[in-house]
Amino acid sequence: MAQVIIFAPAHDIHASAVAWSLRRAGVEALVSSSLRQGSASRFAVLAGADGLHGWASDFQPAEVSAVWYRRPSRPGLSDQAELDRWFSAQQWALFQKNFLAVAHSTVPALWVNEPAASVAAESKLLQLRVAAEVGLDFPEALVTNDAGQVDQLIRRWGRVVFKTFQGHAWEDRATQRYYNTDVSVLDAASELPEAAIAFCPGIFQRYIEKQCDLRVTVIGERFFCARIERKSGGAYLDWRPAILDEDMDVQPFQLPPAVEARLRELMRRLGIVFGCIDLVMDGAGRLFFLEVNQQGQFLFIEKMLPALPLLQAASAMLAGGRTDYALDGRFTAGFEAYLDSADYQQALAAPIDEAPPTTIEPAVTD
């Protein structure tokens, strides 16, 4: 019987939903934040003249159809004595790193995504370099902590978007107000304090006057594209905080074949089989690539647009262990049905552990 391994914490809704969907269809799904599911987990990798052979007590490598490398973290060791943990944590972290560096040899399954490729694909600069190589249009971007460079960019493009590598939220203790980093637009009137910009690098990019955003969820060979804009007309500067807005409109969209072909080539060169691609469309209908999130969120799209069977597609790809899976009705329940399940309630109640994310060296992709 096929087994699917999902590396994610118990509170990850996407992991919980996919595991639920797989189990309903009789596919075994193992969800664990790391290789070490618990004290009972045992592993071995035999390195011999004929290569590597993996063995694990929690799963059978030869039976695994796919591994969803969604939100991996270092092995948890809360069952071990605190004084011992410093050393064993390193041993476990490095064991896992070793194991993942040869992912296909130890677990010969479809990896979604392959660990080394997934780390490399997190680089926005690598993404834009590959986008240029495959002929995708994208707004010129500058990654810098130098105010003079930003100033030049504003002079050249008039308006420039500032965005962060990662979102951040904080509370002002004095006023108890909450703040979070936002996408913002800079122009000739913007202050560019040299010391503040030098303090922390960011991403500055030519501003595109948008007609709408496109979110393309790539699940193996299938592309599911949604067009996002306001019902009242026009695009959001940043649509993410607007997800619960009544005014948000999400519709299916057919990508031009030439753009889709380039996006396929981008995914192929990045070595990833799953990703959520952000594109924007300008007033003239021209599409610009912004980024690909190799483990982005996608079920909210299905919630707003049930015509895109994303949960079924992810389940079918993982169960079949191939990117050219069929959508043949084996997985019938969608995300809406999951939201009515006990599994959803369990995921909501699961504690949020603070384990640091797994770090492995980026692959050399040149």
Ligand X SMILES: Nc1ncnc2c1ncn2[C@@H]1O[C@H](COP(=O)(O)OP(=O)(O)O)[C@@H](O)[C@H]1O
Q: Which residues bind ligand X (CB under 6 A)?
A: 139, 161, 163, 183, 205-208, 210, 213, 236, 238-239, 278, 280, 290-291
Shortest distance, CB of residue 209 to Mg ion, whole angstroms?
18
By beta carbon distance, the residue nearest Mg ion is 278
Judged by beta carbon, residue 16 or residue 294, the one nearer Mg ion is 294
Shortest separation between residue 278's beta carbon and ligand X, angstroms: 4
Indicate which of Mg ion, ligand X, none lies near residue 271 (CB less than 5 to 8 Å, by partner kind): none
The CA distances from residue 271 to 120, 266, 363, in Å, are 9, 8, 10
- Given Mg ion, ligand X, none, residue 29, with its beta carbon under 5 to 8 Å by kind, binds none
Burial class (CB in 10 A: 0-12, 13-18, 19+), 197: buried
CA distance 251 to 225: 9
- Strands 177-180 and 169-172 turn out to be antiparallel
Please state the closest distance from residue 118 (CB atom) to ligand X, in A: 16
The C-alpha angle 123, 124, 126, rounded to 5 degrees, equals 65
When the beta carbons of 31 and 186 are compared against ligand X, the nearer one is 186
Q: How far is the CB of 163 from Mg ion (least distance, A)?
A: 9
For the record, the structure tokens of 61 come out as: 């490598």
> Between 240 and 322, whose beta carbon lies closer to Mg ion?
240
CB neighbour burial string for 225-258, b if at least 16 within 10 angstroms, e if fewer: bbbbbeeeeebbeebeeeeeeeebbbeebebeee
Q: By C-beta, is 293 or 365 nearer to ligand X? A: 293
**Residue closer to ligand X (CB basis): 284 or 342:** 284
**Residues numbered 263-302 forming contacts with Mg ion, rule: CB under 5 A:** 278
Q: Among ligand X, Mg ion, none, what binds residue 161 when CB lies within 5 to 8 Å by partner kind?
A: ligand X
Minimum CB separation from ligand X for residue 261, in Å? Answer: 22
Q: Please give the residue ranges that form the binding site for Mg ion (CB under 5 A).
A: 278
